[in-house]
Amino acid sequence: MMHQQQVADRRQTTHRERRRDPGTRMFTLQAGLLNAARAAVFGAAGRSLMQQALPIVMLAAVWLAAAPARAATLDIEFGGTNGGNVLWDVILTPDPSPAAAVEIGFAYDGGQILAVTPNAAAFSFSNPGQNPFTGTVTVGVSIHDVLGTADGAFAALGAILSSYDPVRVLTIETNGAGTLNFGGQDHNGLFTGARVAQGGVNYDGLTGSLSVDYQAADFNRDSAVDGTDLAIWSGSYGGPATGASGDATGDGLAGGGDFLVWQQQFNGGAANAVSTGAVPEPTAAVLLMLAGVSGLTMLRRRRA
């Protein structure tokens, strides 16, 4: 009797397996064959390699799923000052591909280009590029004479990006305010404008421009409006003056209106950040500076 019950149980189990979803049975079969093939061909080391590769595959899948659909672009931003020099940051907004290469020609109107410094944390590769200033292929960054002395520059750089967020490509330092343009060159007849290469696509014809001006009350042109500029204005007060000797209003004189401009821009610091708001009440620091300058002026008059 017990034997008959065991046979019946086996028959019911077999019947349930036959009624299982065919897709489930196929998946089980495929998984078994895959495991067998992996063990036969690669052995334990093969399984380790596949396990190591899995995070990379998953990372690539996440990158592609999350990356925005967009074309690569370039832009220039004001990067601050270094003493009396102006810094210009070149920014890449990439497409979803992690590898990127750039070829950019620059022209500067206003002085000289002192340095071109790549962002080594991202653009660590010096690539060959079509240099429009030499008509040849050059590598990395270089400064050139175009219409004047050191008023042109070229950069050919590459990067493996860790994200698709905007990233600084390089920083250009110039010896003063002016206008920096990029992308206005013909690259040896092969393409015009700046180029960004990503994911097998060349984004050509990219251009941009940024102008930076000193503030009117920055009389010594050190990119800061401070007590030194107040002293310059005080030394010219009541007489003729230029933009370098106390005239902030452009009327050829150093007077009360120029002081009001200095007061408005005091501690503004950065070039290209002139305020257009109402003239504020003098702060304690301003009053102390003014008192000191007035004392010096009275002392000079007594001695005279």
* Topology, domain 73-212: Immunoglobulin-like (2.60.40)
292, 103 contact by CB (below 8 A): no
- What is the model's pLDDT at position 205? 96
- Decide: pTM greater than 0.85: no
Among 186, 176, 106, smallest CA distance to 146 is for 106
Portion of the chain with pLDDT greater than 90, in percent:
52
- What is the model's pLDDT at position 108? 97
Looking at residue 190, its amino acid is: L
Where is average pLDDT lowest: 150-154, 169-173, 265-269?
265-269
Phi, psi dihedrals of residue 32, rounded to the nearest 5°: -65, -45
Average pLDDT over residues 145-173: 96
**What six digits make up the tokens of 277?**
């708001």
- What is the model's pLDDT at position 289? 52
**163-207 per-position pLDDT tens digit:** 989 999 999 999 988 999 999 999 999 999 999 999 999 999 999
User: C-alpha distances in angstroms, 110 versus 12, 144, 176, 213?
Assistant: 92, 15, 7, 10
Rounded-to-integer distance, Cα 97 and Cα 68, Å: 10
pLDDT averaged over every residue in the chain: 77
Portion of the chain with pLDDT greater than 70, in percent:
65
Rounded-to-integer distance, Cα 187 and Cα 196, Å: 13
Phi, psi dihedrals of residue 235, rounded to the nearest 5°: -65, -20
Q: How confident is the model at residue 131 (pLDDT cuts 50, 70, 90)?
A: very high
Strands (E), the chain: 73-82, 85-93, 99-109, 113-118, 125-126, 128-131, 136-144, 152-160, 167-174, 178-182, 186-187, 191-192, 194-198, 201-206, 208-212
Rounded-to-integer distance, Cα 204 and Cα 187, Å: 10
Cβ neighbours, 10 Å, residue 198: 21
- What is the model's pLDDT at position 80? 85
Where is average pLDDT lowest: 63-67, 187-191, 212-216, 292-296?
292-296
- What is the model's pLDDT at position 271? 56
Where is average pLDDT lowest: 24-28, 177-181, 241-245, 263-267?
24-28
pLDDT for 20 beyond 70: no
Average pLDDT over residues 207-228: 88
**Residue 11 zone, left/alpha/beta (φ > 0; ψ -120 to 50; rest):** alpha
Cβ neighbours, 10 Å, residue 63: 14
